[in-house]
Structures are given as C-alpha cells and as structure tokens.
Amino acid sequence: GDSVTQMEGPVTLSEEAFLTINCTYTATGYPSLFWYVQYPGEGLQLLLKATKADDKGSNKGFEATYRKETTSFHLEKGSVQVSDSAVYFCALLSSASKIIFGSGTRLSIRP
Amino acid sequence: DSGVTQTPKHLITATGQRVTLRCSPRSGDLSVYWYQQSLDQGLQFLIQYYNGEERAKGNILERFSAQQFPDLHSELNLSSLELGDSALYFCASSVTSGRANTGELFFGEGSRLTVL
C-alpha cells in the first residue's frame, strides 16, 4: 500500500544552520505531496505542497521539490531560526484519495 | 486560527468511562477527519466523514464511534476507556474539489484526553 517514510528525529541544529528533513514515499501513480508543521501546543498546519513531478513547493523560507525518479520530497531551509522548532510531517494524497502521513520529525533549534 | 473548533481542550476521566469530543469544521468545509496522536507523536487516522456520510475508516477501535450532523459538526465518542486511550485527538476539515480530497487539511487545536 501507499506509505510515507521520514527521517527519525529528533533533529537538533544551531540557529542559522542548513536544514534537510528527508521524506520518501511509495505510491501508485503520481500522488500530491505535502509538508505539515506542528508547533508546540498546536494542531498541524499546511506548510507547503507540490502536485506534480519537478514542482517546488515553498513557504516561510522552506522548500521541497517533488522528485519522481527518487520518490522523494525532502524539506530544506537555508537558515533556521529558533521559531522553526516544531514537529514536521510529510504526507501524500494517494490515487485512492487517502491522505497518508509520515511519523513526524521533531526539530529543535538552539539559539 | 485554522477555523476548526474543538471542545473540550482538556479532559480527565477514569477507566471504563465514556466521553464525547466535539468538532466544528471551517465554514463551508464538508469533510471532517479525526486523528489520534499518541505521546510518541505519531498520527493515527481514525475516520472521515463527508457531508454527513462516513467516507473512510482507519484504525478506529470498536469502542469508538463518530458521526457528522446535518450542520456539519462532528462528534467522536469514546467508550469503555482504557489507560492506553490517553492521547491528543485532532479534528481536521478539508478543502474538497467536488467529492475528491485535495490533501489540504485544517486542524483544530486538539482535545487532550487523560484516562486515569
């Protein structure tokens, strides 16, 4: 069945460091791909999305590119801030119209 | 503010009891989803409703049930509670394109259930 695999956390970085959180997927067809973020004490919120191969989603300095050849959708940010500390979830919308989330990656940024 | 309202925010109860969690979706959203988030942060999909009808079922226990009412609010009923049911329960509503899911979910702030 369709699935999403994320790198295990927690990930701890210093402020202004470069961030990559890996996400790969298994799916039939060409799913839409998403990154959601959950700040402490809050619900998840959509961070960015991409709906077809080679699309790049971007928001708040974060970017992710839909790579069909490697079935990946890695999240990147050039310079992280303390306020980026959160849990990040990769997700896909399958051809059967199901929304499947990865297990989440906790990110902590040190001042 | 996502526009999705969940009540109560916190609930403490005893094993064997029954509770009801309530969710009001964003104005205009016809789909409502329920998720359970355990301490290890994983999100488990429980159930989805679309315009009052059950649309998809996930890992929902038989002790749990849900419904969506004509005004589109939804309730999740949890009965015969066990210690392991302690978790955050999230409701989300979604933008749909006709009946098709778009993957864009708007989450409430969650109801934290503690079973003692």
| pLDDT tens digits, B40-60 | 768 899 999 999 999 989 889
Report yes or no: A92 and A39 within 8 Å, Cβ to Cβ.
no
Among A22-36, A55-69, A96-110, B36-50, the range scoring the smallest mean pLDDT is B36-50
Q: Sort out which chain B residues have CB atoms less than 8 A from A32's CB and list them.
A: 102-103
Q: Could you tell me what percent of chain A has a pLDDT over 90?
A: 86
The minimum CA-CA distance between A46 and chain B, rounded to whole Å, is 7
- Number of residue pairs across A and B with CB atoms under 8 Å? 52
- pLDDT tens per residue, range B56-94: 898 899 999 999 999 999 999 999 999 999 999 999 999
**How far is C-alpha B100 from the chain's CA centre?**
20
Helix, strand, coil % over all residues of chain B, rounded to 5? 5, 60, 40
Taking residue A83's Cβ as centre, other Cβ atoms within 10 Å add up to 10
Tell me the nearest-neighbour CA distance from A83 into chain B, angstroms: 18
